[in-house]
Amino acid sequence: MLSPFPGMDPYVESTGICSNLHHALITACHDLLNERLPANYVAAIEERVLMIGNTEDGGPARLVEPDVAVLHASPAQSTPPEPRAAQSISTLEPRTLPQEIELLDAPKQLYIQVLHLPERALVTDIELLSPANKRRGSDDRAAYLSRRRDLILHQVNLVELDLLLKGERLPMLAALPAGDYFAFVTRWQTGRQCDVYSWSLRQALPTIPVPLREGDGEVGLDVAIVFSQTYARGRYDRLLHYDRVPESVGEPDRAWVAQRLAEAAR
């Protein structure tokens, strides 16, 4: 089933499955790019560990790490076992000891690197922004902004997709164009300039250029194809809660969202 919306589905963000969709979209982008890249390039998926920093309501920072629980059991029985028949098989009595168990893996974020072959030189980094690195004042946001500066300074192109209504946008020295969603394309040769693509909730998802080395041009990342395939294959129509209009949707679009849902239900 297709999403009831022509472009990005705002219910992904409101239902709380951003991490699930993030990984699925990155995988779909990776597959599409490897179909379209020249033979001397390859797209590879990489990952980094996330931290949860200051909350949106100004609460204290919290670092998410693997939870470790030490399970304390009662000492082994000291009562001697009951006598067994001579012909029975001898059974060892265990001694119960405490142990460490990881209850939660550290959250990870996936991203894509476009490499030039055969030397596997990093040419372009492709990021799908998450709620964690859009959270104002968080450790993740600070780390992400630092990392994007380092990439450009090290002559790496950068493509960043912001498919979230909420959170802080990437900082620019001029006002962003009007829009609900954004794509930011930075070529390292002109790192002080960023090509910003913006579109509204009511518009279809665009095709974003992925720059390669000078002389090799660019390839198109069709975000509409990536999202529609991911939505259908992941059965997101069954996972998303299409009830009330998400709070993240602005007033001009709330009636339109309700109308789209009513039409899809017919």
How do residues 116-128 score in pLDDT, each as one tens digit?
999 999 999 999 9
pLDDT tens-digit map of 224-262: 999 999 999 999 999 998 988 999 999 999 999 999 999
Neighbour order of strands in the sheet with 108-116: 41-49, 108-116, 121-128, 157-162, 181-186, 195-199
pTM: 0.79
Q: Would you state the structure tokens that stand for residue 70, as one six-digit string?
A: 């030490």
- Domains in the chain: boundaries: 11-55+102-265
Distance CA 61, CA 265 (A): 42
Distance CA 207, CA 220 (A): 6
**Amino acid at the residue 8:** M
Q: How confident is the model at residue 212 (pLDDT cuts 50, 70, 90)?
A: very high
Does 70 score more than 60 pLDDT?
no
CA distances from residue 99 to 61, 66, 96 in whole angstroms, order as listed: 29, 15, 10
Instruction: Tell me the H-state helices in the chain.
Output: 11-15, 18-36, 139-153, 223-233, 236-239, 251-265
Percent pLDDT > 90 in the chain is 67
**What mean pLDDT, rounded, does the chain reach?**
84
Distance CA 26, CA 181 (A): 17
Does 80 score more than 90 pLDDT?
no
Cβ-based neighbours of 225, under 8 Å, separated by 6 or more:
32
